Chains A and B, each alone.
Chain A
Amino acid sequence: MDSVTATAAPSARPNVILLIRTFAAIVGSGFRRYSTYRQATVAGVVTNTVFGILRCYVLLAVAGEAGTAAGYDRAQLVTFVWAGQGLLAVVLLWRWTELADRIRTGEIVADLLRPVHPVTSYLAADLGRAGYAGLARMVPPLLVGPLLFEVHLPARWSTVAFFGCSVVLAVVVSFGCRYLVNATAYWLGDARGPLLLWTLCSAVLAGLAFPLRFLPEWLYVPLWLLTPFPSLLQAPLDVLVERDPPAIQAGLVGVQLCWAVLLLAGCRWVQRRAERRLVVHGG
């Protein structure tokens, strides 16, 4: 393989420390880049709060007099909603079209000339973005929710650890999906159709519109195992509200891990395929 692209096999033994340092530097720049959008952050937090209140009332109405719905009690539903509003910005399901735009305009060529694999550098930047969102967007709903409703707090210490892992994996799974959807632009020129499809599916199947366990079991179990969508929001939220015993919590994180590995491998494979046929529209 005489390719000169960033995805060509490295010539010598890679210097691991250097690789980690580069990765950390890109994570840092992603963090700083998004931390400059302060006004948008404030607007986003207000929007999350309005939707948090709205969704809480809807799910509490579903729980009704009985006080439970699909195995969640009222406090668990409230935590589910508020943590979900915060996580939405961390996981970032929508509005990421950076890669597709760069492919369409031809700017992608600059990324391919860099000595870092594009999947790696975009992942690092996305983790930086998620880190900032974790502070600026995740914390406010978690503070506002308890002021307005009675929330469920984790009863086991292991839950906190599981939740941390689950959120990081959710970001990676989301990144993998977004990268693949954006990468269709290599073949289609404009990824608008796939992006629209992704937006629709992730809105419903990730657990944002309603907890997926509201669906019958024969539907949500295959959905969980065979599609990455529940690993985006439903899994970390179910872990946080302790819907299941620790063994199943670990299982949910395990499913996420499988999807994360699978998707990242998929991204690298697609990127490789795309570069073989890429013609940059010049001008």
Chain B
Amino acid sequence: MAERWPAVRRGERAGGALVAYRALLGAQARAQTTYRTSFVVDLVGNVGATVFDVLAVVVLYGVTRELGGFTLRETLVVVGLNATAFALADLFFGNVERLPVYVRSGLFDAVLLRPLGALPQLLLMDLPLRKASRTVVGVAVLVAAVTSAGIDWTPGRVVLVVLAPLAGTVFFGSIFVATATLTFYWTESGELANSVTYGGRDFSSYPVTIFEGWFRAAFAYGLGFAFVSYHPALALLGRADPLGLPAWVGWVSPGVALVAAGAAALLWRAGVRHYRSTGS
């Protein structure tokens, strides 16, 4: 990029980029709140989506007392961690799902020509502020769950209850970006990315003990979804893992998130290099 914009010196470029990103974000916020009724409807609708996800779990416990050896209160900790992490990731990274639209319409060419990073532009170009309401619900569920689950609070667990959802956010964000890169190779991949992002979200709403065989192995440890909510929840609740992993596994989610972020960054770079314009 430096050779394309030789007049701009390094320091100025970093500052200039920040200003540009802030301008993009500001324009988005103003544009989205212009149609106030639509914006409010969207905010409320997004609350509904998360509330229903939580209610669905509660309904299942109306039929059974235990799921995979976990009570409702324990499962709600898993649900709360998961909902908070996913809502935050969806807010900041979910927009990358629109990549197929940009690629198909040729808009991605314009994105690449601008002197800013392609990924930050994509994320900020249509930042769905309406999804902010989901985060509020997610946090509320998490707070209600951890206060009613009878957790024996230690300083470590206080740190974990804050750190785990943030690590989960980075993890889900990486999944969003990584699955979106598929578009560079197969424009019409459609819902395929959903099976990992939303499949993963649903997977980590439940204790992994309810799943079995290769499916559990693939989603929980192959892709790493067990570290989003299940293992941190075990550490918070002070429960031993029925599957036999040691207790410290509950604390590795930030590390897993960083590995995922690194992998997603590599995949994204490879994808952008592979990108051929649709030429329209």
Which residues in A have some Cβ–Cβ distance to B below 8 Å?
37, 39-40, 43-44, 46-47, 49-51, 53-54, 57-58, 60-64, 69-70, 190, 192-193, 196-197, 200, 203-204, 209-210, 214-216
Among B59-110, those with CB < 8 Å from A are 59-60, 62-64, 66-68
Known A50-B195, A62-B67, A200-B49; contact A210-B189, beta-carbon cutoff 8 A: no
Docked-complex contact B45 and A39, CB < 8 angstroms: no
B56 CB–A CB distance under 8 Å: yes
Q: Taking the nearest CB of chain A, how far is it from the CB of B214, in angstroms? A: 10
Docked-complex contact A43 and B45, CB < 8 angstroms: no
Complex Cα–Cα for A60 and B48 (A): 27
Docked-complex contact A61 and B38, CB < 8 angstroms: no
B 29-73 to A, binary, CB cutoff 8 A, 1 in contact else 0: 000000001100110010011001001100110111011100000
Docked-complex contact B62 and A196, CB < 8 angstroms: no
Docked-complex contact B52 and A200, CB < 8 angstroms: yes
Chain B residue nearest in CB terms to A66: B64
Docked-complex contact A190 and B52, CB < 8 angstroms: no
B192 CB–A CB distance under 8 Å: yes
Q: Taking the nearest CB of chain A, how far is it from the CB of B216, in angstroms? A: 8
Docked-complex contact A203 and B191, CB < 8 angstroms: no
Complex Cα–Cα for A204 and B67 (A): 20
Complex Cα–Cα for A46 and B59 (A): 28
> B residues within 8 A CB of A196?
41-42, 45
28 A-B residue pairs with CB within 8 Å: A37-B188, A39-B188, A39-B190, A43-B188, A44-B190, A44-B191, A46-B192, A47-B192, A47-B199, A50-B195, A50-B199, A51-B195, A51-B202, A54-B202, A54-B215, A57-B211, A57-B212, A57-B215, A58-B67, A58-B206, A61-B64, A61-B67, A61-B206, A62-B60, A193-B42, A200-B45, A215-B59, A216-B62
B251 CB–A CB distance under 8 Å: no
> A residues within 8 A CB of B199?
47, 50-51, 54
Docked-complex contact A54 and B45, CB < 8 angstroms: no
Q: Taking the nearest CB of chain A, how far is it from the CB of B32, in angstroms? A: 12
B248 CB–A CB distance under 8 Å: no
> B residues within 8 A CB of A214?
59-60, 62-63
Q: Taking the nearest CB of chain B, how far is it from the CB of A231, in angstroms? A: 20
Known A61-B210, A193-B41, A209-B52; contact A39-B186, beta-carbon cutoff 8 A: yes
B 175-191 to A, binary, CB cutoff 8 A, 1 in contact else 0: 00000000000101111
Docked-complex contact A204 and B211, CB < 8 angstroms: no
> B residues within 8 A CB of A37?
188
Docked-complex contact B188 and A40, CB < 8 angstroms: yes
> A residues within 8 A CB of B64?
61-64, 69
> A residues within 8 A CB of B202?
51, 54
Q: Taking the nearest CB of chain B, how far is it from the CB of A198, in angstroms? A: 10
Contact of A197 among B45, B66, B194, B211 (CB under 8 A): B45
> A residues within 8 A CB of B45?
193, 196-197, 200
Chain B residue nearest in CB terms to A213: B63
> B residues within 8 A CB of A47?
191-192, 194-195, 199
B203 CB–A CB distance under 8 Å: yes
Docked-complex contact B38 and A192, CB < 8 angstroms: yes
Complex Cα–Cα for A204 and B48 (A): 11
> A residues within 8 A CB of B211?
54, 57
Chain A residue nearest in CB terms to B186: A39
Docked-complex contact B56 and A43, CB < 8 angstroms: no
> A residues within 8 A CB of B212?
57
Docked-complex contact A62 and B195, CB < 8 angstroms: no
Among B233-258, those with CB < 8 Å from A are none
> B residues within 8 A CB of A203?
52
Contact of B59 among A39, A51, A61, A210 (CB under 8 A): A210
Complex Cα–Cα for A197 and B47 (A): 11
Q: Taking the nearest CB of chain B, how far is it from the CB of A16, in angstroms? A: 40
Complex Cα–Cα for A66 and B117 (A): 55
> B residues within 8 A CB of A50?
195-196, 199
Complex Cα–Cα for A150 and B92 (A): 41
Known A62-B63, A193-B45; contact A43-B210, beta-carbon cutoff 8 A: no
Docked-complex contact A54 and B203, CB < 8 angstroms: yes
Complex Cα–Cα for A40 and B194 (A): 12
Q: Taking the nearest CB of chain A, how far is it from the CB of B43, in angstroms? A: 11
Q: Taking the nearest CB of chain B, how far is it from the CB of A222, in angstroms? A: 16
Chain A residue nearest in CB terms to B206: A58
Q: Taking the nearest CB of chain B, how far is it from the CB of A92, in angstroms? A: 13
